[in-house]
Amino acid sequence: MNDTTETPSCPRNIWPSRWVSLLCLGALLLATACSVSQTDSDPPSEFGLVIQPDGDPSLSDHYEGVSEAHPIYEMGLHIHDPSRVVRYGDTRMIARSGSEQNGGYECGLETWWLEGEEWRPGQCLLIDKPTWTQAFTPGNGGAYWAPTFGPDANRIYYTASNMSDEDGGCLGLLEGEGQPPTMRWTDVGQPLACFYDSDPGSGPTTGLDPAYFESAEGDPYLVFGGGEIYVAALDPDTGLIRGDPVWSENNPSYQRVASRTNQSPLEGSDEAPWMEAAFIQESEGAYFLFVNLGHCCLGLESTYEIHVGRSERPTGPFLDRDGIDLRDGGGTLFLDREGERLGDNRYLGPGHTGIAELSDGRFVFTFHYYDRQNDGTPWIGAAEYVLEDGWPSVRPAADWVW
């Protein structure tokens, strides 16, 4: 950003209409489209970068300073909304959602590292909150959700929810520097896009659960959404959404690939289930869209299960085994709520798919679950991902060894 470029600002309160917010977002993205970083000589702006000068703090050290007012004292260590596994040198790493901002806990997001067969706390990210969130998601308390790593593990996309049924939220982006355990993650100073229309069928109710993936040709994409699932192409240089990022139903930058509309009710319910936590994996020339149906975050009462569809293109259409489009109620059951397909009923309510190829050629399928053997505490599970007759499957989770 040069000295003559002025970053526009928006009111820091609840907007009189979502259209005011969209206009502000459009102006901000236009002003920053050619640059997503500042030089040392640039003055800080209202939506400027948030930089931890010496790397992000140790998450273990941060936990030690948290008081009994925080849920970690009752629940213990837990992992929710894990990203796919990435590797930095000899370190395997995931990112996960931040937690309730009280009792001295201030992490917007967290990273965790694999030690042997165990996941350990890594770093505490975004103690200093990106200033754009104050304007675009003023209802957010500072905990951000559902991070996903971008290419080469040097970018993290995340959700900044407005914590409101009427005004959904925005997608954010961090860029990383260094190596574990002293990485520094910096917000790019603007939202990728914001979504305020909560009417089912008219768009994603929030910018929920972004997941990065690449086409067979290496083109980058982001899949995201709640209720309605969308795919957007990304600029490989900036990591931002390619084309017009301002949401509208007819914007060709966003391709709808799945919907909760016309989904059959899950057992014990009489209404269409909620849909979120999408993930797309390219395997042997086909694209597989995984979505969660049901509800998370209820411990042993959680109803999450994972459904899947297949396409020949990264933007769909995605059809289930019966040829039904996931936009029209389709979706083949992949992982059931009870953990039967994972070979152990401890894995209650599996969700938030992540798939990664390991150096030995295996593919690992990661997910969070509510542990029946630990009072429903959320944790990360892993199983080998394979294709059988052209469709994805998993080996028993108990057989997995890193």
| φ, ψ dihedrals at 222, nearest 5° | -130, 130
| DSSP code at position 50 | B
pLDDT at 48 over 50: no
Q: Which helix (H) or strand (E) holds 60?
A: helix 59-64
Q: What mean pLDDT do residues 116-131 have?
A: 96
Does the structure show a pLDDT above 60 at 23? Answer: no
The single-letter code of the amino acid at 142 is G
Who wins on pLDDT, 197 or 269? 269
Domain boundaries defined on the chain: 51-399
CA 120 and chain centroid, separation: 20
Residue 69's pLDDT is what?
Answer: 87
pLDDT above 70: percentage of residues in the chain: 83
Determine the Cα–Cα distance for residues 106 and 138; give it in Å rounded to an integer: 17
What is the separation of C-alpha 286 from the centre of its chain, rounded to a whole number of angstroms?
22
Superfamily of domain 51-399: Glycosyl hydrolase domain; family 43 (2.115.10.20)
Residues 6+ apart with CB under 8 A from 399: 343, 383, 384
Least confident of 42-56, 255-269, 286-300, 316-330: 42-56
C-alpha dist (Å) from residue 225 to 56, 62, 90, 230, 354: 28, 31, 33, 6, 16
For the stretch 283-334, pLDDT in tens is: 999 999 999 999 898 989 999 999 999 999 999 999 999 999 999 999 999 9
For the chain, the average pLDDT equals 85
Of residues 368 and 16, which shows the higher confidence score? 368
Residue 20 has pLDDT above 60, yes or no: no
Confidence at 200, pLDDT banded by 50, 70, 90: very low
Cα–Cα dist 186/130, whole Å: 9
Residue 18 pLDDT class (50, 70, 90 cuts): very low
| pLDDT at residue 74 tops 90 | no
pLDDT band at 197 (very low <50, low <70, confident <90, very high): low
Distances in Å between the alpha carbon of 14 and those of 19, 162, 310, 398? 12, 10, 40, 48
Q: In angstroms, what CA-CA distances link 112 with 91, 96, 124, 210?
A: 10, 8, 9, 19
Residue 121: is the preceding peptide bond cis (ω within 30°)?
Answer: no
Contacts (Cβ under 8 Å, ≥6 apart) of 174:
109, 125, 126, 155, 156, 157, 158, 185, 186, 187, 188
- In the predicted model, what is the mean pLDDT of residues 96-124? 95
Specify the pLDDT at position 39.
Answer: 37
Q: What are the Cα distances from residue 211, in Å, to 83, 343, 355?
A: 8, 26, 11
Q: How many CB atoms lie within 10 A of CB 309?
A: 26
**Could you say which DSSP state residue 152 is in?**
G
* Between 359 and 163, the higher pLDDT residue: 359
Task: Answer whether 93's CB lies under 8 Å from 87's CB.
Answer: yes
pLDDT per residue as tens digits for the range 136-188: 998 899 999 999 999 878 999 999 998 765 567 899 999 999 988 889 999 99
247 close to 228: Cβ distance less than 8 angstroms = no
Rounded Cα distance, 347 and 332, in Å: 19
For 193-221, what is the mean pLDDT?
79
Give the model's pLDDT for residue 97: 97
Torsion of CA 378, 383, 385, 391, to 10 degrees: -70
Distances (CA, A) of 149 to 108, 174, 398: 15, 9, 26
Specify whether the backbone of 191 is left (phi greater than 0), alpha (psi in -120 to 50) or beta: beta
